Amino acid sequence: MAIDLRSEFQAPAVDAAADAARRVIDALVRSGGMTDADMSAIADRLNAVADDLEAAAPPVADRLVDMWRGDGITRHDPVAGPENPIAPPLEYSAVDSRTIEAVTTLGLPYQGPPSCVHGGVSALLLDHTLGVANGWAGVSGMTAELTLRYHRTTPLFEPLTVTARQVSVDGRKIRTTGEITAGGGTCVSAEGLFIAKHPPRPR
Amino acid sequence: MAIDLRSEFQAPAVDAAADAARRVIDALVRSGGMTDADMSAIADRLNAVADDLEAAAPPVADRLVDMWRGDGITRHDPVAGPENPIAPPLEYSAVDSRTIEAVTTLGLPYQGPPSCVHGGVSALLLDHTLGVANGWAGVSGMTAELTLRYHRTTPLFEPLTVTARQVSVDGRKIRTTGEITAGGGTCVSAEGLFIAKHPPRPR
């Protein structure tokens, strides 16, 4: 069952622009054959886009209020946020009432060892997914401790399943586990301790 | 003492284009006031840049050989790679023969809780920095286990110091620690176990 806990307050065009920026990031890391002049022209075009976006951007304090409007999971985070070009982005489905999963395929911008996902990127995806699993299970919080075990390399260019499950809630202590699998085998597993508190949303 | 262990095989224009893409990512996450039509035009311009880059990109297998040419730390990774728009990028200095550090300030694309760095982004920065410290100390490897402890929130928009130190080498087992500090206080600390092996570079 697909789930969407995300707040919805911006326009489809914002997601489309983030998608296009994702294509630019991937193509830049894949590129290698351009002349200096051609690549300088690419830089000029990207700087012109940035100039126009920056000229229209609200003050950061205002943007912070706006981007935290509403409840639920935000749309701008660097893992599942469709508005954030850094995010692959992950799209979550419910497995059961305390377990979620997402399937994603990562390209060269997320590379660590040759043709493999960066170990820190796996940590980023798991930390976030454990947090979303807590939200889905009903009690979420801030990461206090996270332990990652790397069992084998995680491949680029192949479907990865990122899973997380809330294991227990004891007072304010939440324990959550997760893993990244490829081809049915576990690449990375994670155990997290979360504390049930949240910094206030900007108003 | 500034250190640069990175291989150098592409042109300054490639770094300039990645810098420009970084500006686009930041401005997209900061934006909020554009009309749908204006944002659709931004998406069109970014897609046109991606089209041109993709048309000139070599096959991925060729690009993999090229991006892993030479020795040393790569220039395309998602933490310190100047060629990767996802990377802030971190620039490392040597503290002593086994310790390195980098100072960086992160903006909205790296946000977790309001105005704070995403816990998974901190994990990404620390995993990579521990790995670079191993390279600097002379024996590096793959992450086998990584434990992160979150002591307080890590602020956006303020200088962060990311430090890592190789603690011991016992056979193929390498132990490395690190932390992220802000204003002199520890925000996140990390302990890593690495195994001294490397997948082969593509040839």
Domain regions of chain B by residue span: 88-195
Nearest to B164 by CA among B149, B177, B153, B182: B177
> Is omega for the bond preceding B89 within 30 degrees of 0, making it cis?
yes
CB A90 within 8 A of CB A79: yes
Q: Are B117 and B110 in contact (CB under 8 A)?
A: yes
Interval A128-157 mean pLDDT: 96
Q: Identify the closest residue of chain A to B34 by CA–CA distance.
A: A56
Q: Is the pLDDT of residue A4 over 70?
A: no
In residues, how long is chain A?
203
The neighbouring-strand residues paired with A96 are A99
Class of the CATH-defined domain A1-203? alpha beta
Query: For chain B, how many residues are written?
Result: 203
Which pLDDT value is given to residue B2?
A: 60
pLDDT in tens, B146-189: 999 999 999 999 999 999 999 999 999 999 999 999 998 999 99
| Residues A39, A43: Cα–Cα separation, whole Å | 6
Dihedral pair phi/psi, residue B150, rounded to 5°: -100, 110
When pLDDT is averaged across residues A41-59 and rounded to a whole number, the result is 96
Task: Answer whether residue A34 shows pLDDT above 90.
Answer: no
Helices (H), chain B: 12-30, 36-56, 60-67, 119-137
Q: What is the CA radius of gyration of chain A?
A: 19
The answer to whether the Cβ–Cβ distance between A36 and B11 falls below 8 Å is: yes
Query: Residue A1 has what pLDDT?
Result: 55
C-alpha pair distances (Å), B202 with each of A35, B48, B73, B84 = 24, 31, 15, 19
Q: Is the pLDDT of residue A16 over 90?
A: yes
Q: What does the pLDDT look like over A99-124, one tens digit per residue?
A: 999 999 999 999 999 999 999 999 99
Residues 25-64 of chain B with CB under 8 A from chain A are: 25-34, 36-40, 42-50, 52-54, 56-58, 60, 62-64
pLDDT-derived band at B35, boundaries 50, 70, 90: confident
For residue A189, the cross-strand partners are: A149, A179
Q: Which of residues 108-127 of A touch B (CB under 8 A)?
A: 108-116, 118-121, 123-127
* Average pLDDT rounded to a whole number, residues A59-75: 85
Residue B108 has pLDDT above 80, yes or no: yes
Cβ(B171)–Cβ(B117) under 8 Å?
no
Which residues in chain A (71-110) have CB-CB distances under 8 A to chain B?
A: 76-79, 83-86, 108-110
Tokens at A144, concatenated: 């206090």
Q: Do residues B160 and B178 make contact, with C-beta atoms less than 8 angstroms apart?
A: no
Task: State chain B's mean pLDDT as an integer.
Answer: 92
Q: Is the CB of residue A108 less than 8 Å from the CB of residue B76?
A: yes
Structure ipTM: 0.95
Q: Are A128 and A77 in contact (CB under 8 A)?
A: yes
Nearest CB to A33: which of B13, B29, B56?
B56
Assign A77 a pLDDT band (cuts: 50, 70, 90).
Answer: very high
CA distance A160 to chain B (A): 18
Query: For residue A69, what pLDDT band results from cuts at 50, 70 and 90?
Result: confident
Which fold is adopted by the domain B88-195? Thiol Ester Dehydrase; Chain A (3.10.129)
Residue range B51-77, pLDDT digits in tens? 999 999 999 999 999 888 877 677 899
Phi and psi angles of residue A42, each rounded to the nearest 5 degrees, phi first: -60, -45
Q: Chain B contact for A65, CB < 8 A?
A: no
Task: Report the run of H or E that residue A42 belongs to, with start and end.
Answer: helix A36-56
A63 and B23 within 8 Å at the Cβ level: the answer is: no
Closest B-chain CA to A128: B120
Beta bridge partners of A186: A181
Q: Which amino acid is at B148?
A: L
In sequence order, what are the beta bridge partners of B188?
B150, B180
Taking one residue from A and the other from B, the number of pairs with CB-CB distance under 8 angstroms is 327
DSSP string, B173-184: EEEEEEEEEETT
Whether residue B109 and residue A84 make contact (CB cut-off 8 A), yes or no, is: yes
Would the CB atoms of A114 and B148 count as touching at under 8 Å?
A: no
Cα separation, B110 vs B122, in Å, equals 9
Q: Do B57 and A24 touch (CB under 8 A)?
A: no
Give the amino acid at A123: A
- In angstroms, the separation between the Cα of residue B41 and the nearest Cα of chain A is 9
Token code pair at residue A48: 């012109």
- Asked, as a colleague might, if the bond just before A89 is cis with ω within 30 of 0, I would say yes
Report yes or no: A91 and A160 within 8 Å, Cβ to Cβ.
no
Residue A66 has pLDDT above 90, yes or no: no
pLDDT band at A96; cut points 50, 70, 90: very high
Contact A56 B38 (CB under 8 A): yes
pLDDT given for residue A2 in this prediction: 60
Q: B40, B66, B124: best mutation site toward chain A, by most A Cβ within 10 Å?
A: B124
